Amino acid sequence: MIRIVAKNLVKADKMDAFLDMAKVLVRETRDKDAGCIRYELVQGIDNPRLLTFLEEWEDQEALDKHMAAPHFTDIVPRFADCLEEPAEVTLYKELL
Amino acid sequence: MIRIVAKNLVKADKMDAFLDMAKVLVRETRDKDAGCIRYELVQGIDNPRLLTFLEEWEDQEALDKHMAAPHFTDIVPRFADCLEEPAEVTLYKELL
């Protein structure tokens, strides 16, 4: 199992644009990507412009296929224009 | 529902000490803390010294009680000596 925490600090005037794209990405990923156990977008309580994907994948193969899927390759590069700084993506394995 | 991502960058010579304490904290929290939906420790794939708690709580009241419980107040302050830098704790609410 692979866990991902992908943090996005969104520009104030790009929140709607980011969320419109994120909605499609979340829906398509949940509906279409085999091996996706969990794929959620959460919002910072202290900083509402911090929008973070919390993900769980069965294995690296499932994650690789997700990152090659059209909904990923179409949408994720377009997030960049909405962000204050590059996304911070951290991959984890289970421990306890 | 409240999600927490609590990142700990552990000193190389303190990994065992941190993990010994984390095992107790995880076990006690899961066993005793009402409103705890998920409480896991995961390890960075690129940096194995990055040990992150991924948590889900029913509400702020459950989280407050957890942070007042003996297993929290005994153990969490002792993590500090094991860390390269202060823990980075981010609270989130559900969005998508």
- Please list, in sequence order, all residues whose beta carbon lies within 8 angstroms of the beta carbon of residue B66, skipping any fewer than 6 positions away: B29, B33, B35, B36, B57, B72
Q: What is the dihedral of CA A69, A73, A79, A85, to 10 degrees?
A: 110
Inter-chain touch B43–A93, beta carbons under 8 Å = yes
Which domains, ranges and CATH numbers included, belong to chain A? 2-93 (3.30.70.100)
Inter-chain touch B91–A45, beta carbons under 8 Å = yes
The stretch B84-89 carries a mean pLDDT of: 98
CA distance B54 to B3: 7
Structure pTM? 0.96
Kind of pairing between the strands at B2-9 and A88-94:
unpaired
Query: Which of A3, A23, A44 shows the shortest C-beta gap to B96?
Result: A23
pLDDT of residue A40: 98
Inter-chain touch B96–A5, beta carbons under 8 Å = no
pLDDT of residue B68: 98
pLDDT (tens digit, 9 = 90+) per residue, B13-47?
A: 999 999 999 999 999 999 999 999 999 999 999 99
Which chain B residues contact residue A2 at CB under 8 A?
45
CA distance B96 to B92: 12
Token reading at B78: 């002792």
Taking only the tens of pLDDT, chain A with its 96 residues reads 999 999 999 999 999 999 999 999 999 999 999 999 999 999 999 999 999 999 999 999 999 999 999 999 999 999 999 999 999 999 999 999
Residue with tokens 């394995």: A93
